[in-house]
Structure 1
């Protein structure tokens, strides 16, 4: 199972939100590229980036910070937030991003997801953010009546590289991930599922790994707070 250290970007800084609320942001650093370099030095094999402002604006906002990270680090990075048209997808992939994460448009324009996945094999992931089993969009600000499993299954034949599943009520709360829901989703689809939201201790990572079906886990606040030692976690997941 791959561990993805998270760098959430707001106003050019590294932050973590509590349950997706922009006003409940904790700033962990004003040099995202330096933070990314620390994660890489600790041994991570991927980075998970989120343009929080972009998710609300519907277009890239923290582009300079993302490009600084890509320039400084050699490990692959995936990015979500504000990527809602083919031009933006092409732009990011041409600048060295390994994978784009499409969230809001997966609900609003699923044909674009399919088109992008065909055009860029292995480079398009779907981000499914949910509250109580229902998908939320536009930076988690709008809730839909679409069920998580239904949305995921609709992309089974699309060729997407992964599904990043976030339980919003767990995100940033340091209360543990929703393992049951994540495992159920992973068993419902053949697309690799990456868990996000609430991963706050080593035991969470081990529990996710031990399901045998979850492909990856994203952690942010726990790495910044020191609740999870990244190097030790990576070693444990490799063993």
Structure 2
């Protein structure tokens, strides 16, 4: 079970949003590389990075900050936000990313995702962001007609490394993960699922150790880590001590 600390980038700074609203950004660190080093020193094995400006623009807008993070840490990094072409995928993987997260393009062009999985095995994750049970795209600014499980099943057998499922209605407001929807998704597909959006406290960390959550690859934490509601050492020790084979 992996706990992924989140670095969300807006204007080159490390921020957190509430409910996906760009004008609700709180700056937690003006130096993302410093934040990346801090997470590595705390013992986190991965970093989850999102180019928020890029998600809205459809192209990289915080590329220099991401490259600085890659230079600053040896931890594997997964990146999402505005990556929508083969050229962008290839360029980022050549810079040292462990995984590229494809979100909007997974809805707009699922064949591109399947081909990317074929060309870059183990390097492609799909980000499914949902609002009211429907998939949202374009940096969460638009809703689609697709259901979460409906979209996820399109990629069964394609070689997707993980699905990162975010409940936008819970993101950044410390409301707790939507366990029902997240575990239902994990049970519906064979692709590993990472929970995102709302992880709020050590109670949520303990919830990750329950038998039904063993299906998950892990969870992403942002605001709760920055605000001190989750103690990194305690959380990581708990997840290590209760790790079990996936169901």
CA offsets 1:44-82 (integer angstroms, 9 cap, x no match) = 010000000000000000001000000010010000000
Q: How far off is 1:156 after superposition?
A: 0.4
CA offsets 1:109-159 (integer angstroms, 9 cap, x no match) = 001100100011100000000012100000000001100000001100110
CA offsets 1:142-178 (integer angstroms, 9 cap, x no match) = 0011000000011001100000000000000011010
Distance in 2 separating the partners of 1:38 and 1:153 = 37
Distance in 1 separating the partners of 2:142 and 2:112 = 20
Counterpart position of 1:155: 155
Counterpart position of 1:189: 189
CA RMSD in angstroms, aligned pairs only: 0.6
TM-score normalised to structure 2 length: 0.96
Counterpart position of 1:78: 78
Counterpart position of 2:38: 38
Distance in 2 separating the partners of 1:104 and 1:209 = 31
Counterpart position of 1:232: 234
Aligned length: 239
Distance in 1 separating the partners of 2:231 and 2:74 = 21
The list of structure 1 runs, each at least 4 consecutive aligned residues, that deviate by more than 6 angstroms after superposition, is none
Q: How far off is 1:10 after superposition?
A: 0.1
What SS class does the counterpart of residue 195 from structure 2 fall into?
strand
Does structure 1 residue 91 correspond to structure 2 residue 91?
Answer: yes
Does structure 1 residue 17 correspond to structure 2 residue 41?
Answer: no
Distance in 2 separating the partners of 1:121 and 1:6 = 24
Distance in 2 separating the partners of 1:5 and 1:39 = 7
Q: How far off is 1:208 after superposition?
A: 2.8
Q: Which of 210, 213, 216 is the equivalent residue of 1:214?
A: 216
TM-score normalised to structure 1 length: 0.99
1:198-209 → structure 2 map (5 Å cutoff): 198-209=198-209
Q: How far off is 1:41 after superposition?
A: 0.4
Q: How far off is 1:209 after superposition?
A: 3.3
Distance in 2 separating the partners of 1:185 and 1:93 = 28
Distance in 1 separating the partners of 2:24 and 2:115 = 36
Distance in 2 separating the partners of 1:33 and 1:112 = 31
1:159-178 → structure 2 map (5 Å cutoff): 159-178=159-178
Gaps of 5+ in 2: 242-247
Q: Is the 8 A contact 1:179 1:208 kept in 2?
A: no
Gaps of 5+ in 1: none
Q: Is the 8 A contact 1:173 1:198 kept in 2?
A: yes
Counterpart position of 2:244: none
